[in-house]
Structure 1
Amino acid sequence: MKRITVFCGSSFGTEDIFREQAYLLGKTLAKKKIGLIYGGARVGLMGALADGAMQNQGEVIGVLPNFLKGKEIAHEHLTELILVETMHERKTKMNDLSDGVIALPGGFGTLEELFEMLTWAQLGLHKKPIAILNINGFYDELFKLTQTMVEKGLLKDINQQMLLVSDDIFDLLDKMYNYQPPTVGKWITKEEV
């Protein structure tokens, strides 16, 4: 993988480990010569992630909508800052630039970005690995929800398995390197329920 997109919060959250792991992920990507694509902000976990990569000579490309740059949250000294007009354009550009996706803790925006990438993969629009770094069990309830989706016949098990999960950065990257996308369609027939 040449570049990975990381989605995460623009806040730090309540646990120091979120910031520590965001920084460590950025550092690890830089040490492995994997470029970081992220939302371009200097605040919260996004800023810690970018700092981890930049302070270890990594490539860091931020993609930021113009209206957020006006709020003075753009990170300084990135390898490149790409300005776009809309949030949708931002996700499209981040997808175009990367070979895989990792989600860290975050709020509605992080979930929306993660699920759009999963939906695109489920529809066969890309075959990139999509992963969650499940820091301190942050996403445990989300996994329970996806299991309920499978049990209720609204999500195929093979599509649920597209979401790679680990609480360890190195294990997660190994899973991403070894990822094989599913070859079946997303639609569930009555016979399959």
Structure 2
Amino acid sequence: MPDLSSRLGSVCVYCGSSNTADPAYLEAAHQIGGDFARAGLKLVYGGGGVGLMGQAARGAHEAGGKVLGIIPEFLRGREKPFDDVETVIVTSMHERKMLMFERSDAFVVLPGGIGTLEEIIELLSWRRLDLHRKPIVFHNPDGFWDPLFALLKHTIDRGLTPPALATAWVSVEAAQDVTPALLAWGLDVDRDREIDVRRLT
């Protein structure tokens, strides 16, 4: 794949916000955030200062990178925004997700829970509807996301999801491989189709 790093300006991270996550996941999130900064990529994330979310933001910030957090007002107490970076306060989860989508050229999915699942399923659904073609990279340590991949394959095998969706993402196991995988992906963003996405919310 060609190196298109000059065409990628920002990357959205979807990940868990729990401080009880495996310490290895927290450490990897910090490293990945730092790798983005060193590659000249702005980190767009959910605005919280806790869990993998907070570690990714700190990693990017400490490495001198640009960071944009987007958080709903009602989550400020629970997710404790990381005040050292630019943070936008919005009114709803829908607004948060839309702004994260619009401000990002690509997406990286780290280990996470039900909220992360919601975000990635919506992103893949929009991809299936041909509403965007932004790169999607999963960090899949120790097969964390394998059950999700198996479920998606199950829907493909049963004729309920187009086979082409299986090529909508790449998965890497090591944290240090996330940014190279992202930069190697061909970027093909259709701005007119992205505008259409707003009609879904």
Shorter-chain TM range is 0.7 to 0.9
**What's the CA shift string for 1:139-173, capped at 9, x where partnerless?**
11111111111111111221122022111345443
TM normalised by structure 1 equals 0.87
Is 1:100 the counterpart of 2:106 in the alignment?
Answer: yes
Name segments (4+ residues, structure 1) moved above 6 Å.
Answer: none
Show structure 2 runs of 5+ residues with no match: 1-7, 189-201
Q: Percent identity?
A: 37
Q: Displacement, 1:136?
A: 2.0
Is 1:145 the counterpart of 2:151 in the alignment?
Answer: yes
TM normalised by structure 2 equals 0.84
Is 1:39 the counterpart of 2:46 in the alignment?
Answer: yes
Contact 2:36 2:179 in 1 (8 A): no
Contact 1:21 1:135 in 2 (8 A): no
Call closer, same or farther: CA 1:14–1:42 in 2, change over 3 Å.
Answer: closer
**What's the CA shift string for 1:33-76, capped at 9, x where partnerless?**
10000000011111111111111111010000011124461111
Pick from 65, 74, 79: which aligns with 2:81? 74
Contact 2:109 2:137 in 1 (8 A): yes
Pick from 142, 145, 163: which aligns with 1:157? 163
Show structure 1 runs of 5+ residues with no match: 182-193
Count of equivalent residues: 180
Residue type at the aligned position of 1:82: V
Q: Structure 1 CA distance, aligned partners of 2:56 and 2:27?
A: 9
More helix by share: 2
Q: Structure 2 CA distance, aligned partners of 1:37 and 1:70?
A: 20
Call closer, same or farther: CA 1:151–1:72 in 2, change over 3 Å.
Answer: closer
Q: Structure 2 CA distance, aligned partners of 1:131 and 1:36?
A: 14
Contact 2:32 2:176 in 1 (8 A): no
Call closer, same or farther: CA 1:180–1:99 in 2, change over 3 Å.
Answer: closer
